[in-house]
Copies of this chain bind each other. A is one copy, B any other.
Amino acid sequence: MENYLSKKIIALITDFGTRDAYAAVMKAVLLKANPALSIIDITHEVNPFNIESVSFLLYSSWDYFPQNTIFLSVVDPGVGSERNILLAEQKGKILIAPDNGSVTLLYNKKDNFRVWTPSLKALSLIPAPESSTFHGRDIFAPLAGLISLQGIETVAGEAASPVLLNTLKPVLDKKIHTIRGRIIHIDSFGNCISSISAEDFPETRKTGKSGNAGKTEGSEDTEITEKKGKDKKTAKLKTAVIKTESTEIKGIEEYFARVPEGKALSYFGSTGFLEIAVNMGNASEILKIKAGDGISVYY
C-alpha cells in the first residue's frame, strides 16, 4: 500500500484566475517534478493588489492542512522586479511565497515560524526562466517540486527578515478603550473580515490558574472568579461599539443568527477574526464596506 503520510500536498494560492491555462501549467510542472504530489487549490481568484487578503487566506488555512503540506503562494505584482523569494516552515508545514508581505499574519501569530531565502545552490538547480512574467511556472513550481523531493533543509539558504505589512497589526489604545484595525478580506458571501481578533482585546483581570482552566481542578473560589471574569468580558463585548467609515454596530454577537434578517451584526468568525455581516444579506454591498477600510472597536 502507498504511504499516504509521506505523500506531499501542495496548497496553491494565486491570482491567475480560472479562465486561462496558467494554474494548470504550474500544476503540470509540479507533477513533472514530482508525480506523487497531491495538489489542492486554495484559490486562484485573489485580488493581486490586496496582499493583506493573501496573508489572511494563508493564515486561516494553515492549521487545517496536514503536516506534509507545502503552501505555494504566487500572488506577485512585483514579478520581474528584484523582490526576494521566501521559504518558511512551521510545525512541518512549508510556505513558498514572494517577499511582499504575504507571510505577515503567519509570522506575527505563529510560534516558531522560521523564514529563509532559497540557497543559491538550490536556485542553480532550476533551469533559467523562459519568461520574465511567469515565475509561477518557471521558478516557484520547480522550487516547490525540489522541496517536495529533497526537504526544506537542502533548499533553505540564509535566514531572512520578511517584508511585513504594518497595516495588519491592530492598534490598542487602552486610555480611550479603542482598538483600531482594518478590513482585510471580503468573502464571497460579502462578509467583511477585519484584522482584529479576540486576542487583541485587553484581558479582563483574572485571578487563579486561568491558564490551566480545564486541565487542573480549580477550587470553587477560582472557578467563580474565572466565571466572573468571563462574564465581565462577555458583558464588555455586548456593549462594544464597532465603527467603519459607513457603519456603526452595537455589540459583538455570539451567534450569527442573533439578529433579524437583513440586519447588520458583528461577531468573531470561523477564522477567529472580528467580522461584519448582514443576516441573509451581502454586508459589503449593503453597508458599502470594502477591503482596506478602517474599523474601530470602542469597548
Contacts and interface: CB of A to CB of B under 8 A. Distances in A.
Interface of A: 1-5, 7, 9, 11, 16-22, 24-25, 27-29, 31-32, 35-36, 38-46, 57, 60-61, 64-66, 69, 77, 79-81, 130-134, 137-138, 185, 187-189, 254-257, 267, 269-270, 280
The interface residues of chain A, by DSSP majority, are classed as loop
A137 B64 contact: yes
A22 B138 CA distance: 29
Nearest to A7: B35
19 contacts: A2-B36, A11-B24, A17-B188, A18-B18, A18-B41, A18-B44, A18-B188, A19-B43, A21-B57, A25-B64, A28-B61, A28-B64, A28-B65, A32-B64, A39-B40, A79-B256, A80-B256, A131-B269, A133-B269
Given A19-B188, A66-B35, A133 B256 contact: yes
Q: Of A24, A29, A254, which is in contact with the most chain B CB atoms at under 10 Å from its CB? A: A24
Contacts of A79: 256
Given A80-B256, A133-B256, A133-B270, A43 B31 contact: no
Nearest to A59: B21
